[in-house]
Structure 1
Amino acid sequence: MTKLSIKPWVLASGMLFSTSFGFAQDNLVNSLKNNQSANSTSGFKFTEVLNLENTPVQNQGSSGTCWSYSTNSFIESEMLRMGKEPVALSQLFTARNAYVEKGKNYVRMHGAVTLGDGGALHDVINMYKKYGAVPQTNYTGLNYGTKLNKTAEMGAITTGILEAVVKNPNGTLTPNWEKAYTSVLDSYLGAVPEKFDYKGKTYTPQTFAKQVVGINPDDYVELSSFMEHPYYSKFTLLVPDNWSFDQVYNVKLNEVTDIIDNALKTGYSVAWATDVSEKSFSYKNGVAYVPAKPFEEMNASEKEAMFSEPKPEMEITETLRQQAFDNYQTTDDHGMHIVGLAKDQNGKEYYIVKNSWGVTNDYKGYLYVTKNYVKYKTTAILLNKAGIPSTINKKLGL
């Protein structure tokens, strides 16, 4: 296989998914750091097969905005693929717009829908289509003195406002609740610029999206795999962060990795929503796999050596995947960006995955994730439909 290794672009950018249950990145990272091995980099020897162009790793801070960071990173790679100069896009511009739509939905649903920072991969495409895009330098989302995102206080206040609106103490809603709600967002994140300058030209968010970013939102599709739904049809992905009730295409288990492989080999990266709560996912070590022996059955020495070298993996079946989802063992708690393919010293293939927790782990913010882990723990993938194999595209009617 042809080896393709391309260095990430270096962008000058401003300061820089979310979990379904709203815990912040710093708490998640701290919990994952309990599962680490000092000799992982000496025990794993990775060789790149291909590494698509991607922009620098960023840091979502103490916020549940991984869905926005991962999918905006994906859009930046799409710009590179199209031969455009990439722009560090504002993740908080996307998030703010999603919070506005989520607030409206929460009120319409009488409070019976998820709030919080969480979101889905498709939210970024939906917000891009409706609101456009803004460079990060023009909208950092840091309007309250911090160097990184820290959204818990904002979330508590906006939740209180929306809960009060749903109680409807006046008996009839007024339009003022929307003004009160968005004013809090503006206080913490900053008011969205109606116009801004970029490289000597003036744009609105909509004209910037069309003239500079240049992607077509209709080119992107979201897929998953669950045996309880008919294959090659669409279904509503029932995870808490799918607050907009978007539908995804259903494909067979092995086709998830077939699609990712085809996409990467034809130059298309993939946005990835998954579960990172497994003990076999280690941010520090930069490795994720599915051990053949469940963690609960391991002895102390086996647990200590989990990341000392490549280990045998469990066989993943449709039934196992479905059961893990139904039992809440697989939850939609993080979004990342698949940018390449590598092999370990034994020839096993891993996806190269770009994270949004800064560059503090063993691989400077990237991870190596086995195909079995992706089959087992993926909740959804999003990509350009041109990256899907033609045989699957036909089955989906794309």
Structure 2
Amino acid sequence: MKFTPFVLSAALLLTAQASFSQDNLVNSLKSNASENSRDGFKFTDVINLENTSVKNQGSSGTCWSYSTNSFLESEMIKLGKKPIELSQIYSARCTYVEKAKNYVRMHGAVSLGDGGSSHDVINMYRKYGALPQSVYSGLNYGTNKNKFAEMAAMTQAMLEAVVKNPNGQLTPNWLTAYTAAIDAYLGKVPESFTYNGKIYTPQSFAKDLVGINPDEYMEFSSFTDQPYYKKTPLLFPDNWSFDQVYNVQINELTDIIDNALKSGYTIAWATDVSEKGFSWKNGVAYVPQTEFDDMTDQQKADMFKGPKPEKAITPELRQQAIDNYNTTDDHGMHIVGLAKDQDGKEYYIVKNSWGTANDYKGYLYVTKNFVKYKTTCILLNKKGVPSDIKKKVGA
């Protein structure tokens, strides 16, 4: 994960020394903005798929859970169901328990903290079911927004103590103690609950009301150092579960997204947001043709005042950015549509989870070049994947 004076990365959010604060991230991104940017862009929707309201993940590194649960809510809409706001923190809480088990088994030699991946939400849904937000908010300690730093510091210290193995042999009680600490902050998981007058468990709620099939989803990325059309490890720190993804050509990433959107399916998108061409305040992300350090002061001030030329993105450029840590697993968002600017250039419409205090009320417009360059992974319903790509990967 990359840390610079410009931005704190937003996914490998906790280390032994520090914890992630979304407030710090958003404040740092505000410095990369142009005044009156919105006046310079004229976006026209091409596809805008139905999705639920923009949320705010607060001071927590749970973007991956917010974005993928938002994605599942759109999957419900696609199935013809009335969408239910799902508990993002329930998915995160279940992930923290599984991550702790993995951390201890690996003697601490694996990522810890708030960070996660889109597949974590799917995996937790399969194992633990789901809860509505109204039943499990995760706000169990007097705040109205997530604020996880204290919990993260405490639970990390607990796990580090377990790994040191002071008794010479682990007892089963460490997991009970760890889970109790998580529950003290986020709340205990109900064995059953009432929703709309009917009693459910997390598993029956997932089956009867959410209704998605966790086996219907596929993940893709693009690496030049791995065989194409084969499954490959997703070698980013937040892939603590060591899940594998399908490796495709760089242009096929956007081909898959385009086909999904045209077929009525949205996409859970994991990406790097620490680039100078990403502006949360202005709600635009692109890859400037000129390197930021080579720009004049005026060019820097005008970066988001209307469409600009972009750098050509090659597989080699993408891989180099991954290998030298310029592309890291910073953030998860939700691609919900496609738009064009006044010059006819296409942008993906992206839903974020940082509230609505930007130029587009919580959404961004992201160029295809940015997606090709900075995507770490995409997850989507396999029905949205082009048939030729499914054939290539043998799915």
TM-score under structure 1 length normalisation = 0.95
Q: Distance in 1 between matches of 2:379 and 2:10?
A: 16
Query: Aligned AA for 1:386?
Result: K
Q: Could you say which residue in structure 2 is the equivalent of 1:299?
A: 296
The offset of 1:26, in angstroms, is: 1.1
Relative to structure 2, which stretch is displaced further, 36-45 or 149-158? Answer: 36-45
**Of the candidates 99, 119, 123, which is equivalent to residue 120 of structure 2?**
123
Cα displacement string for residues 20-72 of structure 1 (whole angstroms, at most 9, x for unaligned residues): 24322111101100011111110011000010000000000000000000000
Q: Does 1:373 align with 2:370?
A: yes
**SS of structure 1 residue aligned to 2:317:** helix
Q: Does 1:320 align with 2:312?
A: no
Query: Aligned AA for 2:325?
Result: Y
Q: Could you say which residue in structure 2 is the equivalent of 1:208?
A: 205
The answer on whether the counterparts of 1:264 and 1:340 sit within 8 Å (CA) in structure 2 is: yes
Q: Distance in 1 between matches of 2:11 and 2:239?
A: 12
**SS of structure 2 residue aligned to 1:136:** coil
- Which runs of at least 4 in structure 1 moved beyond 6 Å after TM superposition? none
Q: Could you say which residue in structure 1 is the equivalent of 2:170?
A: 173
Q: Could you say which residue in structure 1 is the equivalent of 2:246?
A: 249
Q: Could you say which residue in structure 1 is the equivalent of 2:144?
A: 147
Q: Does 1:311 align with 2:301?
A: no
Q: Could you say which residue in structure 1 is the equivalent of 2:229?
A: 232
The answer on whether the counterparts of 2:272 and 2:374 sit within 8 Å (CA) in structure 1 is: yes
Q: Does 1:27 align with 2:31?
A: no
Give runs of aligned pairs for residues 52-71 of structure 1, distance below 5 A. Answer: 52-71=49-68
**Of the candidates 239, 262, 266, which is equivalent to residue 263 of structure 2?**
266
Q: Does 1:43 align with 2:43?
A: no
- Which runs of no fewer than 5 residues in structure 2 stay unpaired? 1-8, 15-19
**SS of structure 2 residue aligned to 1:352:** strand
Q: Could you say which residue in structure 2 is the equivalent of 1:10?
A: none
TM-score under structure 2 length normalisation = 0.96
**Of the candidates 166, 184, 189, which is equivalent to residue 187 of structure 1?**
184
Give runs of aligned pairs for residues 347-362 of structure 1, distance below 5 A. Answer: 347-362=344-359
**SS of structure 1 residue aligned to 2:348:** strand
Q: Could you say which residue in structure 1 is the equivalent of 2:338?
A: 341
Cα displacement string for residues 241-299 of structure 1 (whole angstroms, at most 9, x for unaligned residues): 00000000000000000000000000000000000000110000000000000111111
The answer on whether the counterparts of 1:144 and 1:188 sit within 8 Å (CA) in structure 2 is: yes
**SS of structure 2 residue aligned to 1:139:** coil
The answer on whether the counterparts of 1:18 and 1:63 sit within 8 Å (CA) in structure 2 is: no
Cα displacement string for residues 113-170 of structure 1 (whole angstroms, at most 9, x for unaligned residues): 0110000010000000000000000000000000000000000000000000000000
The answer on whether the counterparts of 2:222 and 2:250 sit within 8 Å (CA) in structure 1 is: yes
The offset of 1:18, in angstroms, is: 4.5
Q: Distance in 1 between matches of 2:13 and 2:191?
A: 33
Q: Distance in 2 between matches of 1:240 and 1:158?
A: 19
Q: Could you say which residue in structure 1 is the equivalent of 2:5?
A: none
Q: Distance in 2 between matches of 1:277 and 1:203?
A: 42
Q: Could you say which residue in structure 2 is the equivalent of 1:389?
A: 386
Residues matched between the structures, number: 382
**SS of structure 1 residue aligned to 2:46:** strand
Cα displacement string for residues 149-199 of structure 1 (whole angstroms, at most 9, x for unaligned residues): 000000000000000000000001011111110011000000001101111
Q: Distance in 1 between matches of 2:74 and 2:248?
A: 25
Query: Aligned AA for 2:336?
Result: V
Q: Distance in 1 between matches of 2:308 and 2:334?
A: 24
Q: Distance in 1 between matches of 2:119 and 2:319?
A: 22
Q: Distance in 1 between matches of 2:383 and 2:111?
A: 32
The offset of 1:109, in angstroms, is: 0.1
**SS of structure 2 residue aligned to 1:137:** coil
Q: Could you say which residue in structure 2 is the equivalent of 1:72?
A: 69
Query: Aligned AA for 1:371?
Result: K
**Of the candidates 88, 92, 97, which is equivalent to residue 95 of structure 1?**
92
- Which runs of no fewer than 5 residues in structure 1 stay unpaired? 1-16
Residues 374 and 324 of structure 1, relative CA distance in 2, 3 Å threshold: same
The answer on whether the counterparts of 2:13 and 2:114 sit within 8 Å (CA) in structure 1 is: no
Q: Distance in 1 between matches of 2:112 and 2:208?
A: 33
**SS of structure 2 residue aligned to 1:340:** strand
Q: Distance in 2 between matches of 1:119 and 1:316?
A: 27
Identity of aligned residues (%): 72
**SS of structure 1 residue aligned to 2:134:** helix
